[in-house]
Amino acid sequence: MTVPDTPAAPAHFTMTEEEIIAKFPDRLRGYDLFRKMGSPKHVVAPMVDQSELAWRILSRRYGAHLCYTPMFHAKSFSDPRSKYFSEHWQTDSEDRPVIVQFCANDPDILLKAAALVAGQADAVDLNLGCPQNIARRGRYGSYLMEDWDLISRLIRKLHENLEIPVTAKIRVFPDVAKTVEYAKMVEAAGAQIITVHGRLREQRGHKTGLADWAKIKAVREAVKVPVFANGNILYYEDVQRCIDETGVDGVMSAESNLYNPALFSGKALPSWQLAEEYLEICKQTPTKLTYIRGHLFKLFRYSLPVHTDLRQQMAKAENLDDFCQVVAALKSRLLEDDAKDPFDAENTPVDEFGYRKYPHWICQPALRFEHDKANSTSGRLLNEAQADQQAKRNSDEAVPSTETPEDGDSKRQKVATA
């Protein structure tokens, strides 16, 4: 019987795995890395200008086990004398475990940037998921998805030369088989953890839609390294539901963490409480005003349309004291609102689709509702309506509904935005 030839390793694989282990005998791999970081189940995503040190500190206080830094541009970051480096790189002795994320399209520049954080992070992550137009123009993030050779060279360069492990965050393809092969290529190149954002590159902004947990599950079953899931997390209960349905090792939250940094604690807390705590952290941890403003607008997303005059003050704030004054004023008003209609966390009503009806002063996920006022009055989530349209296209006949209230909650979690 003829034994099939073993596929030749790519030319940029200049070392065998045995040689890499001999070169870095103490560098952790796969599940050893995962366990060293505390087997993190609750993960804060890398978010440009929003997962900065102060926010990571706040998130850890409320149940986050692992935090990623914002995505840094490897080329700009690679010069430690640059303004970009000094303005963006920020950590301290308590900032662990932490993974530093870079976008890049040049292996040598990526290695140069990654080497600058090797002694201050648990791993370095390659961003392969950013879908924004700036990533298309810069040729990084999800716009490398078709260039598997370059992706492999980027990861392999770190795997063969960096003192700490390399990980990667990817998006999915329309085809599950291609998604699995993509993830296996990333693993073979040297990624020790893979985060799968279960959305296509085209799913962004008002076209965000649903994350595909089935594709995440397929990746989890195909690779040997730990896998984190990203997408469809609105509430604390969604974390375990995602783990149960996909088998992943941890769940990453991006947008929902920004609107509710207490997400991973399972607590429904007033926005002013978290805002005050964040500002106290910022007093000890210098933070750019643009970051602070962005966070406060999200924390008070549902209250600022009620108290519009304070929205203007928030927009015009010029220093940390200004922000503190606006938050104090909001707190006073929101306490009055709560006194008129006290919030009962144990008896939170839900709407017809299973979404929790929190008062505006409670931190809660951002939901994208249908915006076609001429044709829609249902108040359903925009991405739920899109999902229904897709289901009709994919089905030849309708299936009678047997949905119970519990089933409705299960359905609800599948149309989350983050």
Active site residues: 130
231: left (phi over 0), alpha (psi -120 to 50) or beta: left
Q: What is the DSSP letter of 284?
A: H
Of the candidates 141, 116, 121, 117, the residue with the CA atom closest to the CA atom of residue 48: 141
- How do strand 194-197 and strand 250-253 relate by DSSP bridges? unpaired
Q: What is the DSSP letter of 141?
A: G
Q: Which residues pair with 127 in a beta bridge?
A: 169
Q: Measure the CA dihedral 414/415/417/418, to 10°.
A: 0
* Cα separation, 236 vs 277, whole angstroms: 21
Determine what percent of the chain falls in helix, strand and coil, rounding each to the nearest 5. 45, 10, 45
The residue count for the chain: 418
- Sorted by sequence, the CB contacts under 8 Å of residue 236 that are 6+ apart come out as 263, 264, 265, 266
Contact 151, 127 (CB under 8 A): no
Task: Dihedral sign for Cα 77, 81, 83, 87, please.
Answer: positive
Q: Under DSSP, is residue 102 helix (H, G, I), strand (E, B) or coil?
A: strand
Distance CA 314, CA 323 (A): 7
